[in-house]
């Protein structure tokens, strides 16, 4: 018989995986893994500011992630540094600022490991409601902007010629990333969020023929990784967040085996939007 907290963790983790699947596909297609890391690292600064101003932690993380995204867009237009240099500066600076602020606030006891690596077993019913509510909003926006996002991913010039406003789509995509990071922080932690976004999407790419198939497969594989990781954590008494990422890694490694062994009737094709 499973405990209530474990069932809540399963429900929350599956809900998050369903959300991160399609979003992770765009990260893989656009080669934005380092951007995802930067957004995730800024979450700790959001946590520190939330404690300092006594506001909701998820709100603080979302606000800081949005500010970092807008700051990146502003700095990119100045053409003073390459994008990867800017991402490196923002990523490590925000993480360091968050750690310094947390260390400075000695009057507050902060579970730093919980924020860095997640504590999915501590999710509450209100957390689950937020995960599914926020996840549904993210998926609805992705479905609404699927064509503009896909067109901008393939070629921004063509997207502009067709009147699809790729700059607008990019801003919305960054907002969605900020929201998902705020949701995912409590489950897999700041340092592992990007892994949950990228690994299932990278795995799904090997077995999918179209972008739509890849998005659906990434969600399914993420859910399998969550369930496998949680049961593995229960059996081997390992940290839940890292166990989910290790399970996702295991599925990815299996996907590298010859397709004739795993799925004899599937041809080896990768969807390229």
Query: In sequence order, what are the residues at sequence separation of 6 or more whose Cβ sits closer than 8 angstroms to the Cβ of residue 24?
Result: 196, 197, 198, 200, 201, 218, 222
Q: What pTM does this model have?
A: 0.88
- Report in angstroms the alpha-carbon separations of 4 from 13, 24, 92, 215, 226: 14, 30, 38, 30, 17
Q: Nearest-CA neighbor of 68 among 181, 149, 158?
A: 181
Kindly state the percentage of the chain with pLDDT values over 70: 94
Tell whether the model's pLDDT for residue 260 goes beyond 70: no
pLDDT higher for 220 or 84? 220
| 4-262 CATH, one of 1.20.120.530, 3.40.190.10, 1.10.10.10, 1.10.3470.10 | 1.10.3470.10
pLDDT band of residue 33 (cuts 50, 70, 90) is confident
Burial of 260 (0-12, 13-18, 19+ CB in 10 A): exposed
pLDDT of residue 47: 93
Tell whether the model's pLDDT for residue 137 goes beyond 90: yes
pLDDT of residue 269: 53
Average the pLDDT over 95-114 and give the result: 88
């Amino acid at each position: 018989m499973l405990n209530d907290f474990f069932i809540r963790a399963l429900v929350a983790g599956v809900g998050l995986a369903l959300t991160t699947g399609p979003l992770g596909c765009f990260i893989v297609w656009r080669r934005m893994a380092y951007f995802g890391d930067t957004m995730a690292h800024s979450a700790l600064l959001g946590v520190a500011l939330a404690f300092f101003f006594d506001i909701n932690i998820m709100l603080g993380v979302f606000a800081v992630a949005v500010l970092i995204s807008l700051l990146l867009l502003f700095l990119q237009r100045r053409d003073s540094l390459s994008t990867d240099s800017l991402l490196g500066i923002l990523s490590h600076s925000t993480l360091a600022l968050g750690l310094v602020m947390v260390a400075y606030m000695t009057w507050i006891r902060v579970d730093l490991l919980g924020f860095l690596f997640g504590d999915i077993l501590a999710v509450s019913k209100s957390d689950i409601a937020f995960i599914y509510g926020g996840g549904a909003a993210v998926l609805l926006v992705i479905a609404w902007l699927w064509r503009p996002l896909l067109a901008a991913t393939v070629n921004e010039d063509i997207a502009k010629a067709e009147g699809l406003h790729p700059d607008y789509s990019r801003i919305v995509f960054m907002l969605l990333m900020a929201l998902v990071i705020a949701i995912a922080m409590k489950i897999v932690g700041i340092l592992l969020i990007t892994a949950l976004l990228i690994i299932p999407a990278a795995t799904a790419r090997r077995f999918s023929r179209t972008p739509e198939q890849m998005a659906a497969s990434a969600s399914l594989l993420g859910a399998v990784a969550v369930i496998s990781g949680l049961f593995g954590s229960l059996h081997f008494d390992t940290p839940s967040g890292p166990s989910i990422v290790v399970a996702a890694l295991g599925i990815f490694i299996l996907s590298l085996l010859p397709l004739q062994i795993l799925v004899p009737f599937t041809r080896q094709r990768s969807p390229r939007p």
